[in-house]
Structure 1
Amino acid sequence: MSDLQQALSAGVPVKIARDVYNRVRYGAEAPKSDELIWIRPRDVTDWYKPDPANGAPKFRRRHSGLVASGDWDRSRTPFGGHIKLDSIRAHFEGGVPWQDTPLFAFMLDQLAEKGRVDSCLSREDLIARYDRLDRIYEEAQRTRTLRPHGSVNETRREHGGILVHIARDGTPLRDGGGMHRFAIAYVLDLPRVPAQLGVIHSDAFKSGVLQELRRPPE
C-alpha cells in the first residue's frame, strides 16, 4: 500500500481538517487527532457500547480528536472476559502455548475466511506475530511500561495504538484496536501506558483532564 493510500485509509485528510477546526474553536490546548495520551490500564472498567438509536454513534479511529457533547459516554458495558485478554492471560500466566489458545484458533478461522487478518496471510505469519508479542511482553515486564505504538511502527502520532474514548468524568473507555497491547498492559498491571485518543467528551475537555492524560510517566 502506498503512503497516499495509507493516509487515506487512516482518514488523515479528515483528521487534519478536524485539527484545524479544533485549534480555531478550542485554542492551543485543543485535542489532536491520533494524539498520544497516557492511561492506567486498570482504570478501564468499561467498553464503549455503540447505540446509534440512543445517541451513541459508532466511533472509529478516524474520529480521533473529536470533541463530542451529549450522553454517548453513558452507553457502556462492563469490561469483562475477552478472547484476547483471556488468551494472553492463559499464555503468559498459565504457560499455555499460543497455538493452544482460543485466540489462535479464532485467528486461524478468520484467516481461512478472509485470507488476511491483522496483516497476517498465513499460519506462519500468525506464529511470527505472537513471537513478537512475547518480546513486547518481556520488554514491558522489564521496563514496566510500553513504548508508544507510533514510535515503534512509525505511524502518524499514535494511530494504531490502544484506542480509548474519554468520558465526561475523565474515565477512559475501551473501543476498537490495540487489544493485544492493552491486554499485556492489563495483565502486567502497568502503571501508565501510551494510548491513542479517540473521542473526548466536551465536559472532560473543559475540565482540563487532557492535560493530565498528556503527561508522560516520570
Structure 2
Amino acid sequence: MALLDHPTLNLRNLPRTLAARVPHKVLRDRWNRLRFGPSAPLSDECIFVSPLDVRHIYLARRNSAASTFKRRHSGLVIGGDWDQSRSPLPETRATRAIYDRFVRGMSWAETGVLDYHLAIISEKGISEGARTLQEVLARYEALDRVYEEALRTGRLRPRYELPAHFRREHGGIFFHIARDGEPLRSGGGRHRFAIARILGLASVPAQLGVIHPDAVRDGHLERLRSPG
C-alpha cells in the first residue's frame, strides 16, 4: 500500500483520523521510541491476549490517579498506581446476550438486546451508532458471522484482515497493561471478547491501550506481541 493510500491519510477519513488523534499518536510513537528504543510501544498496535486468562477490568475513578483512558490514549506509557485500580471481570449485558444467543440458541430478539437499543433510540435518537431497528439488526447479524467464522477457524481476525481496516489494531478488543503484564479489560470489543471466551479461543488480537513502564522494561509487552 502506497503511503498516500493509507486509510488514515484518505481525505474521506479525515474526521475519523482527527477523532482518533492519529497525529498525536504519531508523535507519541516517536517519543516512546526515544524512551524505550526499537521495541517501544506503538499506538494502536496489535497485542495478543488469552481471553480465558483475563481476570480484571480497569476501573477508572474520578479525582484520582486512575483516569479514564480511551482509544485515543493508545500507546501512552504511564507510571504510578493507576493499574492497581481494578475490579473482577463482571458479567455484562453483552456477555449475557452472547451466551443466550450462541449457547442457549435464543434469537437476538429473545435476548432482549433489540428492545434495549430501541428504548435508547426512542429516547436519544441513536444507540451505539444505530438509529433504526434495521441498523441494530444488521449489527447483530454481523456478530453471527463473526461467531460462525471464529467457530470454523478457531480464531478472530486482526483488524488488518478486515475490509474496514483503519490503523493497526484500532477498533479491536481494548486492553490496558498493568506493571506485571496483566491485561486489564477496558471497553471496546465486548461482544467479540465474549465470543472468544465462549469458544475458548487460545488468544485474540487486541488493541493496546495504556501501558505501565514496568511492563515495557520487564519484557511483558514483547510477550504480548506474540500470538502464542
Query: TM class, shorter-chain normalised?
Result: over 0.9
In structure 2, the residue matched to 1:215 is 226
CA distance in 1, matches of 2:14, 2:35: 29
Partner of 2:102 in structure 1?
Answer: 92
SS in 2 for 1:67: coil
Distance 1:20 1:114 in 2: 41
Aligned to 2:54: 44
Task: Please say if 1:74 is aligned against 2:84.
Answer: yes
Who is 1:160 aligned against?
171
CA distance in 2, matches of 1:77, 1:170: 16
Per the alignment, residue 8 of structure 2 pairs with none
> Which amino acid in 1 is paired with 2:86?
R
Task: Give the corresponding residue for 1:176.
Answer: 187
Question: How big is each residue's C-alpha offset from its partner over 1:5-49, in whole Å with a ceiling of 9 and x where there is no partner?
Answer: 110111111111111111111110000000001101112111100
Q: Residue 63 of structure 1 aligns to which amino acid in structure 2?
A: H
TM-score, with structure 2 as normaliser: 0.91
Partner residue in 2 for 1:62:
72
User: How many positions carry a matched residue from both structures?
Assistant: 217
Return the alpha-carbon distance in structure 2 between the equivalents of residues 148 and 116 of structure 1.
Answer: 28
4+ runs deviating over 4 angstroms: none
Task: Give TM-score scaled by structure 1 length.
Answer: 0.95
- Unpaired runs of at least 5, structure 2: 1-10
Partner of 1:29: 39
Amino acid at match of 2:198: V
Which residue pairs with 2:217 in the alignment?
A: 206
Counterpart residue type for residue 27 of structure 2: A
Matches within 5 A, 1:142-153: 142-152=152-162, 153=164
TM-aligned CA deviation for residue 196 of structure 1: 0.1
Contact in 2 for aligned 1:39/1:193 (Cα 8 Å): yes
Q: CA deviation at 1:55?
A: 1.2
108-117 or 34-43, which deviates more: 108-117
Kindly indicate whether residue 41 of structure 2 is the aligned counterpart of residue 53 of structure 1: no
State the AA in 2 paired with 1:185.
A
| 5+ residue gaps, structure 1 | none
Q: Deviations over 1:177-205 (max 9, x none)?
A: 11111111111111011000001111111
Q: Which runs of structure 2 are paired with 1:113-128 in the superposition (5 Å)?
A: 113-128=123-138
User: In the alignment, which residue of structure 2 is the partner of 1:3?
Assistant: 13
1:47-79 CA distances to partner (integer Å, 9 max, x unpaired)?
Answer: 100014231111000110011111111101111
Q: Distance in 1 between matches of 2:160 and 2:73?
A: 18
Deviation, structure 1 residue 110: 2.3
1:190 equivalent in alignment to 2:164: no
User: Displacement, 1:111?
Assistant: 2.2
Preserved CA contact (<8 Å) 1:150 1:160: no
Whether the 8 Å CA contact 1:83–1:102 is kept in 2: the answer is: no
Shift of 1:208: 0.6
CA distance in 2, matches of 1:113, 1:189: 37
**Partner amino acid, structure 2, of 1:19:** D
- RMSD of aligned Cα (Å): 1.4
CA distance in 2, matches of 1:56, 1:171: 16
Amino acid at match of 2:74: S
